[in-house]
Amino acid sequence: MSSTTEYLSLLHRPRRLRRTSSLRRMVRETQLTVNDLIYPVFVMEGENQQQEIPSMPEIYRYTLDLLLKEIADAANLGINAIALFPLIPTEKKDNAGTESYNPDGLVQHTIKAIKQEIPEMTVITDVALDPFSSYGHDGIVKDGKILNDETVEVLVKQAISQAEAGADIVAPSDMMDGRIGAIRQGLDAAGYFEVGILAYSAKYASAYYGPFRDALESAPQFGDKQTYQMNPANSREAIKEVALDIAEGADIVMVKPALAYLDIIGRIKEYTNLPVAAYNVSGEYAMVKAAAEQGWIDEKQVILETLTSMKRAGADLILTYFAKQVALMLR
């Protein structure tokens, strides 16, 4: 058989559909859009201040006045939602996280201001005690252990307080057992039927969270979080956690972190028809920024490839510190 005959005998040539940029766009299977993005932001007390987080280049803690400008910029880029995280002064922290449900607290005041100034922005609030805890843990501590049910009682108060302030979605990130059902019941009993719950359903005890804990000064003061966050080696357990959260009333389920857990995102996407969120966490952000700073990677292309992989795996929504940068690129 001649080489020409061999050449002509190829019926299937996948490269035909890669030949031009227009063809590649036509057959693209995954489209990353600005509507997929949720922008995590950090707020602190004071006025006219912003502090760059050393381990997260170009990401800042803002006082409320400057945060409102940052969120307005995000809205102008087409970003629909922010996830709010507070830096709480040490003197306002205690073991029971009582500041978390203070109606005049930093979070509550910030929610009200955002909804007044940028009402179209969806506000997602973190429900957990670690920013408010003197121990840096997600729950109440007693004799070196994290109390589950007692913590859930506080989380319900926290979620209701955030809903009263105007939060659109509350996002329990604590990984206490039963908290989704308790929060749903508490919100409904208080009349907040329309406030949604984004459940951190499969949140792993990950080493990727370090820069975030720097941002909030909320690292655990003893031990680690392995008694309530998931073992990174486990996959089936993620389905169990998701099933429980759905049964208890979650509206959206989430996997955190994202990049090292694409398989988990895919499994959960196949399991449920609820929206699936993924958190492109601080450590993932920091690695890209550090490599780009050294000139080792093409930052923009790596960001787009990374977020596209998360959506390809099954994420409907992506919390990412790259949100504004990506919104600009997608334009």
Binding site for Mg(2+): which residues? Answer: 241
Pairing label, strands 196-203, 252-256: parallel
Of residues 146, 148, 155, the one with CA closest to residue 182? 155
Nearest to 173 by CA among 218, 211, 204, 195: 204
Which of 69, 92, 145, 203 is the catalytic position?
203
- CA end-to-end span of the chain, whole Å? 52
Active site residue 256: yes
In 3-40, which positions are buried (b, 16+ CB within 10 angstroms) versus exposed (e)? Answer: eeeeeeeeeeeeeeeeeeeeeeeeeeeeebebebbbbb
Q: Which residue numbers belong to the known binding site?
A: 241
At 170, list the tokens: 């509350």
Question: Is the alpha carbon torsion for 216, 152, 80, 106 positive or negative?
Answer: negative
Q: Which residue shows structure tokens 């907040």?
A: 192
CA nearest 269: which of 327, 212, 218, 202?
202
Choosing from 93, 225, 256, 311, the catalytic residue is 256
Residues 6+ apart with CB under 8 A from 203: 173, 175, 229, 230, 254, 255, 256
Per DSSP, 129 falls in state: S
Q: Which residue type occupies 277?
A: A
Question: What gap in Å lies between CA 308 and CA 99, rounded to an integer?
Answer: 38
The question of whether 112 is a catalytic residue gets the answer no
**DSSP labels, 186-205:** HHHHTT-TT-EEEEEEEEB-
Entry field: residues in the chain: 331
Quick check: 152 and 178 in contact, CB under 8 A?
A: yes
Q: Which two tokens stand for residue 34?
A: 């600005």
| Catalytic sites, residue numbers | 203, 256
